Structure 1
Amino acid sequence: MMIRILIALLLALAPVTAFANQCPTMMAAIDAAMPNASLSESDMAKVKQLRQQGEELHKAGDHAGSEAALGEAKKMLGI
């Protein structure tokens, strides 16, 4: 019985772990795209702000918030 509960718990947490791992991938994609981006200074500043915010939220454990901020940065970069 205890093993079934443990397996169910692990399966329930698996999507959370997979979701959390998207943040570093998104940050790396943003970092790779920034040097070649043709954005205005204000747009580039906004991308950098969103990138930083995404990293801070990721470190704080708010992966949904992190993905939202990083997704907006990616959208601005066209990736």
Structure 2
Amino acid sequence: MRRLILLVATALLSTSLWAMHCPADMAKIDERLKTDPPGDATVLAQVKQLRAEGEALHKAGNHSQSVKVLGEALQLLEASE
């Protein structure tokens, strides 16, 4: 019984941590797009599309997938330097 309670508590806490991570990643992407957008229009379009997809996933409650998609957008931004 203790293990079950611990497992449930851990799952609930980890979900809320993912949920807080998404807005931080979206803010990083937004700031980067304002201050130093990629020069390549294709990369810029991909980053914007991934950012929008990440926000939609976040709003739908799929935080782990949102973090993954937003991470891809951040990687594209870093690679375009």
User: Shorter-chain TM-score: what band?
Assistant: 0.7 to 0.9
Which residue number in structure 1 is paired with residue 31 of structure 2?
32
Unaligned runs of 5+ in 2: none
Give the TM-score of the pair, scaled to structure 1. 0.81
Change (3 A) 1:62 1:12: closer
Which residue number in structure 2 is paired with residue 56 of structure 1?
56
Q: Aligned to 1:78, what secondary structure does the other structure show?
A: helix
CA shift at 1:39, angstroms?
A: 3.0
Deviations along 1:5-49, whole A, 9 cap, x unmatched? Answer: xx7444541121111110000000000001212330111000000
Question: Percent same amino acid among aligned pairs?
Answer: 42
Q: CA RMSD in A?
A: 2.1
Between the two proteins, the alignment pairs up a number of residues equal to 76
Give the TM-score of the pair, scaled to structure 2. 0.79
Which residue number in structure 2 is paired with residue 71 of structure 1?
71
Query: Distance in 1 between the 2:68 and 2:53 partners?
Result: 10
Q: How does 1:3-14 map to 2 (within 5 A)?
A: 8=6, 9-14=8-13
